[in-house]
Structure formats: structure tokens, C-alpha cells
Amino acid sequence: MSAVPPPTPPEPWAGGPVTERAHCVLAANPGPMTLDGTNTWVLLEPGSTEAVVVDPGPHGEEHLRAVVAHVEARGARVALTVLTHGHHDHAEAAPRFAELTGAPTRAVGRGHDDLGDGDVLRVGGLEVAVVATPGHTADSVSFALPADHALLTGDTVLGRGTTVVAHPDGELAAYLASLERIQALTGGGRVAAILPGHGPVVPDAAAMVAIYRVHRAERLEQVRQALADGAAAEPDPVEGVLRRVYAAVPESVWPAARMSIRAQLEYLGVGGGVSGRGA
């Protein structure tokens, strides 16, 4: 959840096979915040009968049964479900999916707390490494597929547009550190492609992360300028920044823009009705 749409119509994304081990089953929940819908990822080692499912998505019996049917059509069963974070469009259906499959669910936070940074999940010959990438939310994690040189990023990096730092749960300092961490993985050749939570696969992970880091730096500078131009003196600096910096953003995503603005103001140490660190 969290994209600011690009200004030009994007190429449609329908999911499907993307690497030797990863297949996307696209949920039917398109929208301004979800792009084409939520990407539910099925991870399966070639020749294995045990699959890992990442982000079963929002409530929707038809989608969940489509995921199960895809796994069964490949002669496998769902052995484990993992979540990139707890937002409803990724995790809401997890309890029902567990009922359908009998598979355990692992995640960070919201009653789970059983995935740790650096953990390696081994299921049916498949290896999935847990990479903590907080910032979009406090519980955000990514999953590396070393054999495919791919990283499943949830909402930390999207296939199109940029993501929201979902203040107060999300934090900009943590998000910037997560982008730096992903960039380090791309620099070492360990990650070539990004398999996002929304939108198409990103074949050049390094280039996309560089774009995200530049975007964040530019946004911060725009917010600083907006504050200097008078937003800081307004009763609600968030609205002052929104008018000056995000005027071209569709109103449908203003709630997300406000969250990102609050995260940026917190990062810059600006009060004025915005909860600061430790508040």
C-alpha cells in the first residue's frame, strides 16, 4: 500500500512467472495505492513439492483459492507463508490462508515476532534469506532469493512510482538506511532484480534504488524550502507543505502524502503539531 502514481499511463502488469523460483499471482485489488493489485509471490525450488507464499493479500476467497490452485497445479503444497509487513493489502488474508493450507505464517510484529534479520528459511530445497528493511513500516522485511539474485521488497521498493513512509509507524531515517542496505546488496551482485509488493518486476535493482534515494533527497530539500517559505509558521505545517510540495499529486493519495510529510518533518525535527521523536 502506498504508491504515488506516475504521470503517464503505465504498462499493465498481470503477474506470472518471473524467475526460475518465483511466480506472481496478482490479487484483484487495483487502485491508486496498490497499482495493479497486490503481488502474492509463490516461491518454489525446481522439482520441489513444498512452496513458500509471500503476502497472501487482502480478504478475497477467489484470490486465495487461485494461489492454492496454482501451487497444486505444480504438484506442490504450501508449506510456509511469510509476510513482508502487516498492512491489510498484504496480510489481511493470512489467517484464512492458514485455514485453507494448514501452513504456518511467519512475520515480524503484530503477534508474530518470529522472523529475524539474517534468518535463512529452508523449505523443500529453497533458500530464502530475511533482510530487515524497516521504514515504510516498522515491521517491514524483504526476502532474498540468492539462487535467483532477486529480492522481494514488499512496499519498501515498488515496481512503479514511490512508496509512502507510513508515519507514525514508519520512520524516514530507518527507510533511508534500508534503501542504503538494499543498494549495498545490489553492489555486491547478490541482488540483480526486485520483486515488489505492487507493480512489475524491476530488472535493474541498482538503478531503481538509486532513483529512490535521489527522490528522497529531492523531496527533503523541497520540504525544507517549503518550511522556509512559510509552511513552518502555519498552524499545521503538514498542510502547508502539502500545498507547496504535493500540489500536483492526485487528491486520492493525499492521505499517503500527509504520512510521508509527517515522517519528513519528524526527520527534520519540526514540531507544530507533528509528533516528534520520543513523543
- Residue 275: the pLDDT is 42
| Whether this model's pTM surpasses 0.95 | no
H helix runs in the chain, sequence order:
61-73, 88-91, 94-101, 172-187, 205-228, 237-245, 254-268
C-beta of residue 33 within 8 angstroms of C-beta of residue 256: yes
Residue 112 clears pLDDT 70, i.e. is over it: no
Active site residues: 89
pLDDT for the residue numbered 6: 47
Q: Which of 13, 2, 9, 51 is nearest to 201 (CA)?
A: 13
Q: Which domains does the chain have, with CATH numbers?
A: 16-204 (3.60.15.10)
pLDDT one-digit tens code per residue, 205-254: 999 999 999 999 999 999 999 999 999 999 999 999 999 999 988 898 89
164 pLDDT band, cuts 50/70/90, is very high
**188 confidence band (pLDDT: 50, 70, 90):** confident
Long-range contacts of 20-25 (CB under 8 A, 24+ apart): 20/46, 20/147, 20/148, 21/45, 21/46, 21/126, 21/145, 21/147, 21/148, 22/145, 22/148, 22/150, 22/152, 22/195, 23/70, 24/195, 24/201, 25/63, 25/66, 25/67, 25/70
Beta strand extents in 86-192 (DSSP E only) = 105-106, 120-123, 126-132, 141-145, 150-154
